[in-house]
Homo-oligomer: A and B are copies of this chain.
Amino acid sequence: MRDVVITGIGSTRFGKLKGRGVQNIAVEAANDALSRSGIERKDIGALYLGNFAAGPLAGQEVLAGIVGDEIGVSGIPCTKVEGACASGGIAFRHAVLAVASGQCDAAVVVGTEKMTHARGSDVTAALNNAMDNQSDGPSGLTFPGFFGLAWRVHAEKYGTTRDEVSSIIIKNKANGLNNPLAQMGAELTSDIIEQSQPIADPLQLYDCCPVSDGAAALVIVAADRATEAPDQPIRVKAAIQTSGSARLAGHESLCSFKTTELAAAQAYEQAQISASDIDLAEIHDCFSMAEVIHSEDLGLVPRGQGAKWAAEGRTQVDGQIAINPSGGLLSKGHPVGATGVGQLYEVVKQLRGEHPNQVNNARLGLAQNVGGAGVACTVSILERTDV
């Protein structure tokens, strides 16, 4: 496997993109990424597209081929992958593999989702397609319910408090205020969070990420072919994908996702680093409690301390380990199939030193993307190589 870098990157704003189609926003992001890639379209050898819900919500499948055709790379293998909220991360890993294994010298990865045009009940139904409905459907379990249960277990086991969890939301919403791509940055207080609408006890409204539209894209290039790139190429040190149970009962403990622990261990090994080397991490905070669990599973904070570290400010942009300096899903938004690609866009910006919430001297960045209740996970590690 040869060295691979990211050159061009592109992203729409995340949020309500009225009047846009799921393929149009993907085309916009991909064209933006290509225009800054230093690569001609004829040299693109593969396209991977992450999408989750365009079938039920837009009546449109085969998006990989449609987008490939519209951006002018038709003929090459264009592949849509789906792993619920991890679709974007899975698409990224496959584009990296295509280049690293020598199938081609350059590949495009794009993630896209359009959700805000649909009725709320249709969105909820589509999101629930990411559960194992044969197993957990009859119980009426939803994702807020799942993370509500996880919260109760975490609080019981580690004494995690409402205020500690709220500090994650306050941090991510504040980070989002500075991010021009973010859907819902805000200045919040514990009181505002506690007084917001209850969703699935103990989750309140602000514990949940919004429903979002958005698309993001990256161009993946063999390191020795990135000489024409106008912006600094960022090296892919690890791109790992794992799977786990989609069922509630498939988790030994709700305080931990095996799929993340496995992916993290493999990613640190592939990158030949340890968790403490990471300067910043974009992690899958679809709910506030998800950031707690994932930051612990990734080894970025000690077990049981995910919320406490946030409360102590250690996961701020200028903290010990910057977690979700983009604002994360809670604040930047969660256009499902685009999220994993959008996380990597943010990490590239950080490693280039161009982020609105810049982490000082950022050299190693991590992105973690989780599907469903842990049925899929990707952990990717990027490196700035000139420092």
Q: Give A contacts to B, CB under 8 Å.
A: 21, 23-24, 47, 52-53, 55-56, 59-62, 64-66, 68-69, 74-84, 90, 93-94, 97, 101-103, 125-126, 128-134, 137, 241-247, 250, 258-259, 262, 371-372, 375-376
Q: A133 touches which one: B52, B60, B97, B125 (CB < 8 A)?
A: B60
* Closest Cβ–Cβ distance, residue A340 to chain B (whole Å): 13
CB distance B68 to A243 under 8 Å?
yes
- A59 contact set on B, CB distance < 8 A: 125, 128-129, 133, 137
* Closest Cβ–Cβ distance, residue A63 to chain B (whole Å): 8
Report the Cα distance A84→B60, complex, angstroms: 10
* A23-B243 CB under 8 A given contacts A61-B82, A64-B83: no
* A376-B125 CB under 8 A given contacts A23-B134, A69-B246, A69-B250: no
Report the Cα distance A126→B126, complex, angstroms: 14
Report the Cα distance A24→B132, complex, angstroms: 12
* Closest Cβ–Cβ distance, residue A269 to chain B (whole Å): 15
CB distance B376 to A62 under 8 Å?
yes
Report the Cα distance A133→B62, complex, angstroms: 10
* Closest Cβ–Cβ distance, residue A71 to chain B (whole Å): 11
* Closest Cβ–Cβ distance, residue A371 to chain B (whole Å): 6
CB distance B134 to A246 under 8 Å?
no
* Closest Cβ–Cβ distance, residue A218 to chain B (whole Å): 18
CB distance A74 to B245 under 8 Å?
yes
* Closest Cβ–Cβ distance, residue A253 to chain B (whole Å): 16
Q: A375 touches which one: B66, B81, B247 (CB < 8 A)?
A: B66
CB distance B69 to A245 under 8 Å?
yes
- A372 contact set on B, CB distance < 8 A: 62, 65
- A246 contact set on B, CB distance < 8 A: 62, 65-66, 69
